[in-house]
């Protein structure tokens, strides 16, 4: 395992989305509930000063103080003090890669760089290519209607502000450098021409920017924490947390954006005294986290993918492939080529919204390479990005990924062979800027092409379209899961395990319900055809994705609230898909048809009847999957995280839906009722309140925390009998976790019959029901589809 780490690591965590509505003082008050749930550490979203009104905190604007709207320094002190009183640790999410620049006056460094240009004290903190664009920083904010024929910008005015003279474009304020307003008769156009920045057409962000961003977000500018002085200044407040003993561990956001993730983690370990540290690193199937990193592991998307797939019926793959092909208009017998889709969408990104980064790499190559860089270099670099098999390499680690990308690019584009031959040595040399920047950019292309586009176009089974997973990988057998978990116990026992985050496309229980469709693909196809006939959509493939989301979220809120949530999801999903409508060029006719389908789910009785008819057949199996996923995630090797509120049903959709406030008072009341002896029944029906999930969650978390000696190993537990393939079980060293898989298929078989677990010798009692078991699954799982067995002797 990478990193030596501290002596204290969490057993489990509970993630809070800290905001003005749920600030740190409120979090401190909620720690009684968190502790009662069985959680070991509290896990907080970013806390540093952020853009005004930010709901998430990932747009940090200052590194020397906490966000006052989130509770400030007093709030963190209150959380830390209460956590210490209850024996809890504190884990905080940090954002080292970028800062928010949407409001320049809020970020003192950015304001200073805009005012003073390349000579600004903090100019070196930002990744800016000053040697292009006439030494001016391009700011892509100008709307289409404000570009004048002579290239000037309309709606500029000079205003005397609190920071001196300012140049305003509509309601956006920018600094005016000293001496640049004299002699021009207060002409804002003339003043603008003298600044170290240039306000440009927003369309030019795609190919003409000269500062690195967070993905394609113009209002998030990358910072160069690889420079020692920048690291020190951006970690002033974080250092204080550890100096004063306020915080115990960190979650590092988006390490792939850093120039040198390993070097950054080494610096962070030195600053924190090797505190517990996780990285938000997405691993492609078969990819391993570098063991040289000073980290305890990833935030758990790999584990999420394994859990979802072990609950997916492999028999559903062929019929769902055929359905997806039919919806996409392919001939009978063909299937959608998902890898080809990924390549093409990544190529679109490299040629489109991230072409500025590609052009920057080409400029770096021209500076580094002694011979002339071919004119086709941008084409070759973009093709390499599209062919790159993982998010990024970390040279000198990961040369095999570079080899694979060059081989694939040569095969796809033999016309680029000579150019690829020329640039390959330079893109394999980690001492060169072009090579380092290529590594930073490939992950951006992957994320924008796959997570933010392909995931919204490929609708075969959308429970698999999740961050950290490959939708092309349909299912995972029980033996495959055991192999993954045994390796996890051996190599990364303190990595996080998660099912829902602020970045998941669908909450864990939405996915659990959609997963059931793999067991009844023909029934799903019949229902989908009916829905598409009743509420026609121009793109039936997108219709499949939409109706799966409706099915997964149905019943999670009153109709008026759910209707609004589904409209929000539909808008984001179709614009992210980007093939029929986009954020920048919306197709009003297409979007109206999609929104009409959402409304039909609530207003058209035939549509509602078709939807609820299928729902009645899959809802209980979905709850079974949900309990199975939660039980597996909490008891498997690693540190389980409970995303706020997901101890009850988590039927959120993509952000901002998954950042909605949750009713913590309800959860506290239900937990108190369970503790008073009101053991909940198995979940049933669309209106089930989720108390069985709360019971499973609390029982498992408390056992892990209070009986840690029962969770020190990993051994598969075999089953025998006619339904043996419907159970997954493992022994963690005295605690055996048991979960049902493929529940509809199990019911079709007539139940467990004589299927039994081969339990180790001794007396085993289910912590969920209190009953002793001899391994007979029909008896053991008569109440819940999961069990947590503890050896009594």
Quote the pLDDT of residue 394: 96
DSSP 3-state helix, strand, coil percentages of the chain (rounded to 5)? 50, 15, 40
- Helices 605-635 and 508-515: crossing angle in degrees, nearest 10, is 110
Model confidence band, residue 312 (pLDDT cutoffs 50, 70, 90): very high
Quote the pLDDT of residue 621: 98
Model confidence band, residue 5 (pLDDT cutoffs 50, 70, 90): very low
Quote the pLDDT of residue 7: 60
Quote the pLDDT of residue 374: 86
Give bridge partners of residue 140 from the DSSP assignment: 200
Q: Terminus-to-terminus CA distance in the chain, angstroms? A: 33
Residue 2 pLDDT greater than 70, yes or no: no
Residue 6 pLDDT greater than 60, yes or no: no
Quote the pLDDT of residue 186: 84
Give bridge partners of residue 126 from the DSSP assignment: 223
Rounded Cα–Cα distance for residues 80 and 103 (Å): 31
The token duo for 597 is 């389908």
CB-count burial class (<10 Å; 0-12, 13-18, 19+) for 604:
middle
Quote the pLDDT of residue 163: 87
Rounded Cα–Cα distance for residues 780 and 662 (Å): 33
Residue 4 pLDDT greater than 70, yes or no: no
Residue 624 pLDDT greater than 90, yes or no: yes
Average pLDDT of the segment spanning 528-540: 97
Rounded Cα–Cα distance for residues 253 and 280 (Å): 5
Rounded Cα–Cα distance for residues 227 and 120 (Å): 16
Q: Is residue 514 within a helix (H) or strand (E), and if so which, with residue range? A: helix 508-515
Write the Ramachandran bin of 374: left for phi over 0, alpha for psi from -120 to 50, otherwise beta: beta
Rounded Cα–Cα distance for residues 614 and 634 (Å): 30
Rounded to 5 degrees, what angle do the CA atoms 496, 502, 505 make? 100
Q: Three-class SS of residue 360?
A: helix
Average pLDDT of the segment spanning 130-151: 89
Alpha carbon of residue 674 to chain centroid: 32
Average pLDDT of the segment spanning 566-594: 96
List CB contacts of 524: < 8 A, sequence separation 6 or more: 320, 323, 517, 614
CA distances from 664 to 645, 646, 648 (A): 7, 11, 10
Average pLDDT of the segment spanning 784-791: 97
Q: Three-class SS of residue 728?
A: strand
Rounded Cα–Cα distance for residues 450 and 467 (Å): 9
Quote the pLDDT of residue 1: 37
- Helices 559-577 and 540-553: crossing angle in degrees, nearest 10, is 150
- pLDDT tens for 84-126 read 999 999 999 999 999 999 999 999 999 999 999 999 999 999 9
Rounded to 5 degrees, what angle do the CA atoms 576, 580, 584 make? 60
Please report how many Cα atoms fall inside a 13 Å half-sphere around the Cα of residue 173, on the Cβ side. 14
Residue 141 pLDDT greater than 80, yes or no: yes
Average pLDDT of the segment spanning 541-566: 98
Q: Decide if 267 contacts 250 (C-beta within 8 A).
A: no
Average pLDDT of the segment spanning 324-328: 97
Q: What is the pTM of this model?
A: 0.96
Structure letter (DSSP) for residue 450:
I
Dihedrals phi, psi of 412, to nearest 5 degrees: -75, -35
Q: By C-alpha distance, which of 84, 83, 14 is closest to 43?
A: 14
- pLDDT tens for 180-202 read 998 888 899 999 999 999 999 99
359: how many CB neighbours lie within 10 A of its CB?
21
Task: Please name the residue ranges forming H helices in 311-354.
Answer: 317-327, 338-351
- Mean pLDDT (the chain) is 95
Rounded Cα–Cα distance for residues 585 and 298 (Å): 37
Structure letter (DSSP) for residue 454:
I
Rounded Cα–Cα distance for residues 295 and 403 (Å): 27
Residue 476 pLDDT greater than 90, yes or no: yes
Q: By C-alpha distance, which of 252, 258, 209 is closest to 439?
A: 258
Residue 411 pLDDT greater than 70, yes or no: yes
The token duo for 107 is 């970020």
- pLDDT tens for 664-703 read 999 999 999 999 999 999 999 999 999 999 999 999 999 9
Specify the pairing of strand 89-94 against strand 98-100: unpaired
Q: By C-alpha distance, which of 24, 21, 14, 15 is closest to 660?
A: 21
Residues in the chain, how many?
793
Rounded Cα–Cα distance for residues 274 and 294 (Å): 8
- pLDDT tens for 629-657 read 999 999 999 999 999 999 999 999 999 99
List CB contacts of 47: < 8 A, sequence separation 6 or more: 18, 24, 57, 66, 67, 70, 76, 92, 93
Quote the pLDDT of residue 644: 95
CB-count burial class (<10 Å; 0-12, 13-18, 19+) for 124:
middle
Residue 459 pLDDT greater than 80, yes or no: yes
């Amino acid at each position: 395992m990478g990193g030596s780490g501290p002596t204290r690591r969490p057993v489990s965590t509970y993630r809070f989305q800290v905001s003005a509505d749920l600030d740190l003082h409120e979090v401190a008050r909620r720690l009684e509930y968190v502790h009662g749930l069985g959680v070991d550490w509290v896990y907080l979203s970013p806390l540093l000063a952020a853009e005004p009104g930010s709901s998430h905190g990932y747009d940090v604007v200052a590194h020397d103080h906490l966000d006052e709207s989130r509770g400030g320094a007093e709030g963190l002190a209150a959380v830390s003090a209460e956590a210490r009183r209850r024996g809890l640790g504190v884990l905080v999410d940090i954002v080292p890669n970028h800062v928010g620049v949407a409001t320049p006056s809020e970020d003192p460094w950015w304001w200073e760089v805009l005012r003073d240009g390349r000579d600004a004290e903090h100019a070196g903190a930002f990744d800016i290519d000053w040697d292009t664009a006439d030494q001016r920083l391009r700011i892509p904010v100008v709307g289409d209607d404000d570009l004048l024929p002579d290239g000037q910008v309309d709606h500029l005015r000079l205003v005397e502000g609190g920071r001196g003279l300012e140049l305003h474009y509509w309601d956006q304020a920018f600094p005016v450098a000293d001496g640049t307003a004299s002699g021009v008769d207060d002409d804002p156009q003339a003043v603008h021409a003298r600044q170290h920045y240039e306000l440009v057409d927003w369309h030019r962000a795609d190919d003409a920017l000269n500062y690195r961003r967070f993905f394609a977000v113009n209002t998030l500018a990358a910072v160069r924490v690889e420079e020692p002085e920048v690291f020190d200044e951006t970690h002033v407040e974080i250092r204080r947390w550890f100096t004063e003993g306020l915080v115990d561990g960190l979650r590092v956001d988006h390490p792939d954006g850093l120039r040198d993730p390993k070097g950054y983690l080494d610096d962070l370990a030195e600053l924190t005294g090797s505190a517990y540290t996780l990285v938000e690193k997405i691993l492609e199937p078969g990819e391993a986290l570098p063991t040289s990193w000073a980290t305890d592991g990833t935030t758990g998307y790999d584990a999420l993918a394994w859990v979802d797939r072990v609950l997916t019926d492999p028999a559903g793959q062929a019929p769902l492939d055929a359905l997806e092909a039919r919806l996409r208009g392919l001939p009978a017998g063909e299937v959608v080529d998902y890898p080809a889709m990924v390549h093409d969408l990544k190529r679109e990104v490299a040629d489109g919204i991230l072409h500025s980064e590609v052009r920057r790499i080409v400029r770096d190559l021209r500076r580094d390479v002694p011979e002339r860089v071919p004119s086709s270099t941008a084409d070759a670099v973009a093709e390499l990005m599209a062919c790159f098999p993982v998010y990024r390499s970390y040279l000198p680690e990961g040369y095999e990924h570079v080899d694979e990308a060059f081989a694939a690019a040569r095969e796809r584009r033999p016309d680029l062979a000579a150019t690829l031959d020329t640039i390959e040595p330079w893109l394999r040399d980690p001492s060169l800027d072009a090579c380092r920047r290529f590594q930073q950019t490939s992950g951006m292309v992957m994320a924008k092409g796959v997570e933010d586009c392909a995931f919204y176009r490929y609708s075969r089974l959308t429970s698999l379209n999740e961050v950290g997973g490959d939708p092309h990988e349909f299912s995972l057998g029980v033996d495959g899961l055991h192999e993954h978990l045994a390796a996890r116990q051996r190599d990364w026992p303190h990595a996080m395990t998660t099912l829902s985050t602020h970045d998941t496309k669908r909450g864990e229980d939405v996915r659990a319900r959609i997963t059931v469709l793999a067991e009844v693909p023909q029934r799903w196809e019949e229902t989908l055809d009916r829905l598409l006939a009743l509420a026609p959509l121009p793109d039936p493939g997108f219709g499949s994705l939409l109706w799966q989301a409706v099915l997964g979220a149905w019943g999670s809120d009153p109709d008026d609230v759910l209707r609004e949530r589904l409209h929000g999801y539909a808008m984001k999903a179709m614009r992210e898909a980007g093939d029929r409508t986009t954020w920048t060029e919306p197709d009003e006719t297409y979007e109206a048809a999609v929104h009409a389908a959402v409304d039909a789910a609530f207003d058209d009785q035939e549509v509602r009847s078709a939807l609820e008819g299928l729902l009645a057949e899959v809802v209980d199996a979905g709850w079974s999957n949900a309990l199975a996923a939660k039980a597996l995630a909490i008891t498997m090797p690693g540190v389980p995280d409970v995303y706020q509120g997901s101890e009850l049903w988590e039927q959120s959709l993509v952000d901002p839906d998954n950042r909605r406030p949750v009713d913590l008072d309800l959860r506290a009341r239900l937990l108190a009722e369970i503790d008073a002896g009101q053991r909940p029944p198995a979940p049933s029906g669309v209106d089930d309140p989720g108390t069985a999930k709360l019971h499973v969650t609390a029982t498992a978390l408390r056992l892990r925390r209070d009986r840690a000696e029962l969770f020190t190993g990993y051994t598969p537990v075999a089953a025998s009998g006619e339904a043996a393939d419907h159970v997954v079980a493992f022994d963690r060293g005295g605690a055996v976790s048991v979960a049902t898989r493929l529940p509809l298929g199990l019911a079709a078989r007539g139940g467990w019959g004589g299927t039994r677990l081969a339990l180790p010798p001794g007396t085993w009692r289910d912590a969920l029901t209190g009953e002793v078991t001899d391994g007979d699954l029909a008896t053991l799982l008569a109440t819940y589809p999961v069990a947590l067995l503890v050896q009594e002797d």
